[in-house]
Amino acid sequence: MAVTVESYLKPEVIRQVARLDLRAKFIVEGFIAGLHASPFHGFSVEFSEHRKYTAGDNISDIDWNVYAKTDRFYIKKFQAETNLTGYLVMDLSGSMGYTYRQELTKFEYSISLAAALCYMMIHQQDPVGLIAFDRKVSQSLAPGSKRSQLGNILSLLAKLKPEGTTEIEASLHQVAGMLRHRSLVMLFSDLLGEPESILRAIHRLRHAGHDIIVFHILDEAEAQFPFEGMVRLEDNETHEIIEVDADAIKADYLEEVEQFRAKYRTDCVRSRIDYVPLHTGMPFDKALMSYLLTRQARA
Amino acid sequence: MEMSLINAGLAAGAALAALPVILHLFMRQTPKHVIFPALRLVRERQRRSKKRLRVKNWLLLLARMAILALMALALSRPTLYSQVPLGDQSVPTALGLVFDTSLSMKYRDRDRTRLEEARERAREIVEKLPDSSQVFVVDSSEPGSTGLSPAAALKRIDELTIHPVSRPLNVAMGEVYDKIVGVDKPARAVYVLTDLAKTAWVAGPAEGLDKVEKLKKEKKGRMATFVLRLTPREIQNLSVATAEPSSSVVTQGEAVAIRSRIHFENSSEAPGQPPARRTVEYFIDGVKKGEKLVEIPPKGDLEVDFPSPPNLKEGELHRGEIALRGAPDPFEDDDRRYFSFKVRPAMKVLLVTDRPGVDDFFVDSALVPDPSPKAPQVYKVERRKTSELRDPGKTALSEYACIFLLNAASVDEASWGALSGYVREGGGLVIGAGSRCNPASYDTAVAGQILPGALDRIVALEGTSETHIGKVVDVTHPLFASYGQDLATELAQVPVYRYWSLRKQDPPIDGARTLLSYDDGTPCLLERTIQGPKAGRVFLWTTPLSRTAKSRGPEAWSEFPIKNWSFWAMMWFTVPYMAGTTDDTLNFEAGGPPVMLHLEPTIRYKSFTLLGPGPDPKPSPIAQPPSRGELLEIAMTPQQQQPGQWTVKALAEGDRPVTLGFSFNPPRAESQFEPMEKTDLDAVFGKDGYLFAEDADKLKEIVDTGRFGTELFPFLMFLILLVVTLESILANTFYKETPKAGAGGTSPTAA
């Protein structure tokens, strides 16, 4: 069976693509192909808008390709009018490197998604930067909208390794201090910390005027608890061990997960923050759509 | 309740209940090690639901253990017994068959009497017994039963007959338990075959239950009691409940009513039950004297009265019966009732007074209301002055049924002697004390031997005040019995202005008692009974039985003679009471008080022969005739007490034949079919002391239950099903799957 572009939205397909830049390209192309058959038909992420040339406009803005085809002068709408500086904020905690099925870790899922978003933003001329943190901000890349920025970000993303413990609250406070202008902050994390303190940090970012999308990424096993019988569960950060009857506790655990997510969801909604619950088995389009909706609202 | 296991060995399988625990302890699977970053979520939930999980785990473990234990128990086939099981029918058994042979067992349903039904049920039981069994056939009417082989028992069952008189079944149970407990057989069973009419039992437990309990405690054998009800579902029976003359001894010319009551027993609860139409026939001396067409309401009674024919022959015993006719009746024995009464000549009454026509006027008027020569006279009244009391030229005092001594000033000692002799011979003396009475004359030694009190002084109420004959001390006294409370009400309205008070007696006079008293409690009428060959009686009225025209003059004592009908009734009933005829009864019930016939005191009897009812009765002599003046007691065995007209042929001195007689009726209780309720049977046998069968099918079922107990297998299987369902519900609730959508995540939330 031929692989269609939309199939790259599926994690189990995209994980077979080794190169991150290709992953980003395939995900976005698959997403856009999907959009054409959707209510977003005609929506272009390639170009923001064209309008007729009028006297006084900068001649350097004339789109000569359009002139060649139509014999009329059109200029590209100023990117500054719709520019949205985006920051991809990556959680490098050890828990993000977890995968139960040994297919795609939360971190791999996160960087695939981040790469795709970066790809889309660069193609829309939106400046995009990268911040990675564990106990504090460990890596950062200033925003840029040039094509070379995509390569830089993807290169950096590919090098990141999730390990050790994390301090999400402290790190986000640090991020808040770093951002000077109103930006779109896209947080990729499993948020496995104290919800109250994490939310406090997110709120600080929000209060600074930033738009925030929280991609809450859990492993498929964490979201669905597929275990059976007696299992000994070990936290890979604290190495704490709990022995449970998986069948007995499954319903309660799933309820707890739902409450855990509900806590974030409720708080985010109240603060007009996008909250996107994901797990590593879910296709990427849901996350990308969330980004587009936010960008559209902002524009 | 006791329980036994058919496959007792399999009950050990209940130990398998420990299997889930063993599996849990020794076969715990090695937990799979899994790295799980979201451990804090597990920890949080585990902390909160630890207690609940533990309870669920225990419940689940218990349910699984219960399933295993119940399955093992079910396979061991437990059976439950309310009594000790009898085992297979091939087991030699000591069998007791208690037959209710009371009259009500003659009730016919589907053309069979209840006894015939009982016989058939008993045959079915006996025919299944092994030959080595021993059977005791107990007749509720006849004590005495011996152990029989099954074949002999069948013959004995066929010989059983119904008797008018029967022992209470409680007593018959005592006999059967006594016999059965004494027999050494592996199994013991008692069957009670009865129509279950309440009247066949007495309150309280059955006799011999202590022996049964002792047997059970010592575990010396198995024992069960089965009670089989043989009554049809619906009872419809018409009966002559009562039929009696107003008195067993009536005077020539006296109006006598034969009072009967017809009862319609109908146990149907269906609405709109029609009344029963029957003809009530009335016979005297074998000749029909009248009939009435009547309608009796369901579960109701109807009074039907017939007047006795006038001018029945004097001095003879007259026999009568009231019978029902008109439709077939399932129980014919209570469709007729017999009665007897004697007609005697008018009783002689002597009125003794100082002033004839004055002090005796009202008594005379009461006893002879119509003095015309052609009018029938119940009482023949003669007058005599006090001074003539002992006149040898006049009729002897003993010829009088009753003597009234009214307001006599003085009675000499000799006259008191004559009166004392008269009373001691069984005569009746009535004294009406008035203003002329000299208390000293009534307080002599001889008078004191018969008078119930001594006159003390006249109590005269002042002005317009008055008292009344306020209180009837004993309404059931024969003098008041006919009108009871009505007479008491009338007497309470009689004004009294003067009366004699009586001197206090210490000690009280033997045989004396107060019958009526005034409002203040002073005696108004006293009675003294003088024992002798025939009991003599003396009445003392403390106010005269007469009045003067002036209501409040010095001679005026009371308005008793004219106030209302109470004076007439009192005088009218006084004479037969004093003559001793009111307690002379000729009508008896089977199983009731013994037959006692009054004999003529003037006749000396040589022999008596008893003749039962029926066209050709077999004479049976009565041993030891009583001495002169006594009552003739006729001893009859329960089997002899057949309903009908009985005759006693007596031979007086000089070989003069005298005919006596009486009527015998079946016990009224035999017409009452109200059945024993469960609570009644519980009281007789104890709550778990018997098994009850309402019909033959139920009997078979309870006999099987009695032999083998109640198998609990189906109940246990049902219980297992319930526990399995419970376990399934628990497990499903415990390990419930959350829908995939809920587990996967939610759609993005647009802020």
Q: 3-state secondary structure string, B306-356?
A: EECCCCCCCCCEEEEEEEEECCCCCCHHHCEEEEEEEEECCEEEEEEECCC
Highest mean pLDDT among A60-69, B73-82, B429-438: B429-438
Q: Determine the Cα–Cα distance for residues B597 and A160; give it in Å rounded to an integer.
A: 133
The pLDDT of B632-654, averaged and rounded, is 86
Give me the pLDDT at residue B748, please.
Answer: 38
Residue A44 included in any domain: no
Q: Which of B321, B319, B318, B329 is nearest to B296 (CA)?
A: B329
d(CA B663, CA B644): 6
To the nearest whole Å, the CA of A223 is away from the closest chain B CA by 6
Distance from CA of B750 to the nearest CA of A (A): 5
What CATH number labels B236-344? 2.60.40.10
Residue to substitute from A253, A258, A259, interface B, most B β-carbons within 10 A: A253
Query: Of the ranges B39-48, B428-437, B693-702, which is most confident?
Result: B428-437
A253 and A108 inside one domain:
yes
**Within 10 Å of residue B727's Cβ, how many Cβ atoms?**
18
Does A110 lie in the same domain as A236? yes
ipTM of the complex: 0.73
Q: Tokens standing for B523?
A: 């005696």
CA B475 to chain centre: 22
* Residues A73, A103 within the same domain: no
What average pLDDT does this structure show over B507-529?
Answer: 90
How does pLDDT run across B124-157, given as a tens digit for each residue? Answer: 888 888 888 999 999 998 888 888 999 999 999 9
At A235, which CATH number? 3.40.50.410
Do A139 and A234 lie in one domain? The reply is yes
From CA A272, how far away is CA A270, in angstroms rounded? Answer: 6
Backbone angles phi, psi at B394, to 5 degrees: -105, 175
Q: Which residues contact B724 (CB under 8 A, 6 or more apart)?
A: B67
| Fold match flag (B93-227+677-709 vs B347-365+374-566) | yes
pLDDT in tens, A81-133: 456 788 999 999 888 888 887 778 898 888 888 888 888 888 777 888 999 99
Whether B217 contacts chain A with CB within 8 A = no
Same domain flag for A29 and A171 = no
Reply yes or no on whether the pLDDT at A45 is more than 60.
Answer: no
The chain A residue lying nearest B33, using CA atoms, is A232
* Distance, C-alpha B234 to centroid of its chain: 23
d(C-alpha A176, C-alpha A172), whole Å: 6
Cis-peptide, bond into residue B507, ω within 30° of zero: yes
Q: How far apart are CA B332 and CA B335, in angstroms?
A: 5
DSSP state of B221: S
Contacts of B30 in chain A (CB under 8 A): 230
Q: Least CB-CB distance to A222: which of B38, B56, B735?
A: B38
Residues A61 and A202 both lie in one domain: no
Neighbour-count burial of B547, counting CB atoms closer than 10 A to its CB (0-12 exposed, 13-18 middle, 19+ buried): buried
pLDDT of residue B385: 92
Is the pLDDT score of B310 beyond 90?
A: no
Pick among A168, A189, A257 to test the B interface (most B CBs inside 10 A): A257
Residues in chain B closer than 8 A to A229 (CB atoms): 29, 31-32
> What is the count of structural domains for chain A?
3
Residue A276, in any domain of the structure: yes
Residue A220 domain flag: yes
User: Tokens standing for B73?
Assistant: 């128990």
Distance of CA A43 to the CA centre of its chain: 20
What's the pLDDT score for residue A36? 47
User: Are A70 and A143 members of one domain?
Assistant: no
Indicate if A200 and A125 belong to the same structural domain. Answer: yes
Q: Do residue A66 and residue A101 come from a single domain? A: no
CATH of the domain spanning B93-227+677-709: 3.40.50.410
Residues of chain A neighbouring B28 (CB-CB closer than 8 A): 230
- Asked whether the beta carbons of B436 and B557 are under 8 A apart, the reply is no
For residues B187 and B132, what is the distance between their CA atoms, to the nearest angstrom? Answer: 12
In a shared domain, residues A157 and A207: yes
pLDDT of residue A47: 44
- Proportion of chain B above pLDDT 90, given as a percent: 28
Q: Which residues from B are below 8 Å from A192, CB to CB?
A: 37-38, 40
Partner-chain residue, chosen from A230, A235, A269, that has the shortest CB–CB distance to B37: A235
Q: In the sheet where B222-229 sits, what is the strand order?
A: B147-148, B134-139, B93-99, B187-194, B222-229, B691-693
Among chain A residues, CA nearest to B734: A248
Greater confidence (B432 vs A27) lies with B432
Q: Answer whether B481's CB lies under 8 Å from B576's CB.
A: no
Question: What does the domain layout of chain B look like in residue ranges?
Answer: 2-77+712-737, 93-227+677-709, 236-344, 347-365+374-566, 589-665
For residue B205, the tally of other CB atoms under 10 A from its CB is: 16
Q: What is the mean pLDDT of residues A32-47?
A: 45
Q: Which residue range is the domain that position A61 belongs to?
A: 50-77
Q: Do B748 and A276 touch (CB under 8 A)?
A: yes
Most A-contacting residue of B41, B47, B734 (CB-CB within 10 A), to test interface: B41
Q: Tell me: do A225 and A257 sit in the same domain.
A: yes
Q: Which residue has the higher pLDDT, B459 or B377?
A: B459
Residues A275 and A156 in one domain: yes
| Run of H or E including B366 | helix B361-367
Q: What is the third-level CATH fold of B347-365+374-566?
A: Rossmann fold (3.40.50)
What's residue B506's pLDDT?
80
Please, what is the end-to-end C-alpha distance for chain A in angstroms? 40
Q: Which of A113, A190, A244, A288 to probe by mutation at the B interface, max B CB count within 10 Å? A: A244
- In angstroms, the separation between the Cα of residue B228 and the nearest Cα of chain A is 59
